[in-house]
Structure 1
Amino acid sequence: MEKKIINPWTWQDARSYVQSVEVKHVESTLYVSGQTAIDEHGISSDEHMRVQLQKTLENLEKVIREADFELKNIVRLNIYTTDSAALFENFDLFQEWINRNQIKQTSTVLEVQQLFENLKVELEATVVK
């Protein structure tokens, strides 16, 4: 087995996790840690759901592209939110992103009581190559 860790930033090191792990055998699979609306300095957003969802999608894209995978090859995308109603009010943003990138993924949407530092949405992905 061959593993490659991909971290486009350094702030996650203090939080004891990596942004993604690529595991190779015959094919390659990328497991992406939950991405949220955290900036490149590790500062969490306190904006409303739409802004947080946009930043979360941007961060997910950054990690996947940094690992040299394609968005269209996301096969699993889990969505965690503290407010399902607000998420679905802004779901057009998510659906437009899915359609634009030709993603055909399996998904689970879970409402949770709390996310890190009061964030509102988190996306966790598995990508194949």
Structure 2
Amino acid sequence: MKRTAVNPWNWSLKLGYNQAEIIEGQTRQLIVAGQIAVDENGAPQHAGDMRAQIALALDNLEAVLKGAGMDLSNVIKLGVYATDVDEALKNFDLMGMRFGPVQNAPPMTLLGVTRLAIPGLLFEIEATAAA
């Protein structure tokens, strides 16, 4: 799979994402449902702690990717939902710590929402991956 970043401006790179990517030569695509801060039984974790919820949601995303024989380097698009965008952005260094080592800055959309499906959850991340 060949990826070519499309960035008419550089400002998004400072935030850890490309404006767009051209994906060529993929053979498999994975659509990952929103991953949240729940344990293996689906019980919400880390009430009121945005940072811990982001970390666990990323752990869960990585687990789903691994189950498909992929990792964060295969992610080609992210959708992020947060009940407090400012608080999420304060903790986005966690995104950089996960995606930076695999040198991936997939296009991303961050939306503020009034609540998520499960009360008490603050952060949700969905992904599209390709190999």
- What interval of TM-score do these two structures reach, taking the shorter chain for normalisation? 0.7 to 0.9
Unaligned runs of 5+ in 2: 1-25
Q: Cα offset for 1:29? A: 0.3
Equivalent residue letter for 1:102: Q
CA distance in 1, matches of 2:31, 2:55: 21
CA distance in 1, matches of 2:101, 2:127: 17
Corresponding residue for residue 8 of structure 1: none
CA distance in 1, matches of 2:53, 2:88: 10
Q: Cα offset for 1:116? A: 2.0
Corresponding residue for residue 10 of structure 2: none
Number of equivalent positions: 104
Q: Equivalences for 1:34-53 in 2 at 5 Å?
A: 34-45=34-45, 46-53=47-54
Q: Equivalences for 1:46-125 in 2 at 5 Å?
A: 46-117=47-118, 118-125=120-127
- Using the aligned pairs only, state the percent identity: 36
Q: Please, which of 93, 105, 129 is the counterpart of residue 127 of structure 1?
A: 129
CA distance in 2, matches of 1:36, 1:27: 28
Equivalent residue letter for 2:36: T
Runs of 4+ in 1 over 3 A off after TM superposition: none
RMSD between aligned residues: 1.2
Worse-matched range after superposition: 32-41 or 67-76: 67-76
Q: Highest relative contact order (Cα 8 Å, sep 6+), 1 or 2?
A: 2
Q: Cα offset for 1:47? A: 4.3
**Structure number having the greater helix percentage:** 1
CA distance in 2, matches of 1:87, 1:104: 17
SS in structure 2 at match of 1:80: strand
Equivalent residue letter for 2:104: I
CA distance in 2, matches of 1:101, 1:119: 27
